[in-house]
Amino acid sequence: IVAGPGSGKTRTIMARVKHLASRGVPLRKIVALTFSRKVALEMVKRDGTIGGERIVIKTFHSFGLSILRRFHKESNLMKDFMVVDQSKQLEIIRSILESGGQGRPPGPTSNSVVHGALSKQMTSQDAFKVLKWIMKKKGSGAEAKEFAHVEYGAIWERYEDVLHTQYNGVDFVDILSLVLKLLQTHPAILQDLKQRYQYYVVDEFQDVNN
């Protein structure tokens, strides 16, 4: 559904779910997706069950996370991988900056690139700026190796290494990008999900990117 704020998108979506249920579609075959955890909780509270059967209502990230948990091996993740929040991301970046990029895995980029970013005292605001840049690039589908020749790119490479090897973790951008990659490279998993869920109803669809 694509519509403006306050136009009744969520109400319409839940009416759609009830309509499908009235036609005999099992609720376990329907997934209601939204960007906001707040909206998801409101949907659960207001229309969480129909006829005693619970509706699958999730945010994009929680739904993606459930897929990664189930297919963690195929996604090259440990079973108990963690999702790091922004505070942990900033902690990782600050530690990289403070250490001067020590321990960065071998690659075409020299340590001078990392040290270039350390030529001034890095504050929390600076770390946030670096993180914002990394998340923007990751969100566009880019990879760290594509930016190895620039200051932030070298830090990005080290960030990914620390995130995965030291924390056994992924960040919120990883959740959706890893699921996309999983479905693109594993047709059997894509088919499994097609059989598991027949209908997807999406709230706030106007906010979906490419």
Annotated binding site: 3-10
What tokens does 111 get? Answer: 């340590």
Distance set, CA 202 to CA 12, 32, 86, 129 (Å): 11, 6, 26, 32
* Three-state DSSP state, 76: coil
- Contact by Cβ (8 Å): 200, 31: yes
Nearest to 72 by CA among 179, 184, 160, 188: 179
User: What CA–CA distance (Å, rounded) separates 123 from 191?
Assistant: 47
User: What CA–CA distance (Å, rounded) separates 80 from 77?
Assistant: 8
- Continuous segment of H or E residues that includes residue 35: none
Annotated binding site for ATP: 3-10
Q: What is the CA radius of gyration of the chain?
A: 21
Nearest to 77 by CA among 4, 3, 178, 9: 178
Nearest to 165 by CA among 72, 109, 103, 100: 103
- Contact by Cβ (8 Å): 59, 42: no
